[in-house]
Structures are given as structure tokens and as C-alpha cells.
Amino acid sequence: MAKPTETPATDEHTVIEPTPEFSTFRDTVYTSRVLIVPETGRTLTVAQGQVQVKTADVEAITFLKSHPDLQSLKE
């Protein structure tokens, strides 16, 4: 009886998308409000004293870092 030839296993790659990282800012004045980005009119919502945006969102991060009532939280 002939020995079956082994075929190499195919290299199947499963792409796992990384979950987006977020930056959180603490509002030192209000626990709930809506912030409006002046240049674009975008709204960012503060809830429970915090606002969270994707780290890759440069426009929002720049606005939040420059806002006097907000502090970046290191996670």
C-alpha cells in the first residue's frame, strides 16, 4: 500500500481588526453638556463628567486638549 503524500497545510491568515483606542477627557466644570468644535460645528457630548473620542480623531483631540475646562485622563 502506498503511503499518501502529505500536502502542506495552507497558510490561512485570519485578520483581526484592532479595536479603536479611545482618549478620555474629564470635564472639570460640568457633568453633562455638549461641546461644539468651532471650525467644523461638530458636537462632542460630555456625559458623567467625561468625553471620549477615538485617539485617531486629531481634530477632536486638538480641540479637547486646548479647552480650559478639560483634562486628559491617562488610561
Cβ(35)–Cβ(46) below 8 Å: yes
| Rounded average pLDDT over 46-70 | 97
Domain boundaries, the chain: 22-48+55-73
> Quick check: 41 pLDDT over 60?
yes
- 70-73 and 50-54 beta bridge pairing: unpaired
Q: How far apart are CA 42 and CA 75, in angstroms?
A: 25
Read off the amino acid at residue 42: R
Instruction: Specify the pTM.
Output: 0.70
Q: How far apart are CA 37 and CA 43, in angstroms?
A: 6
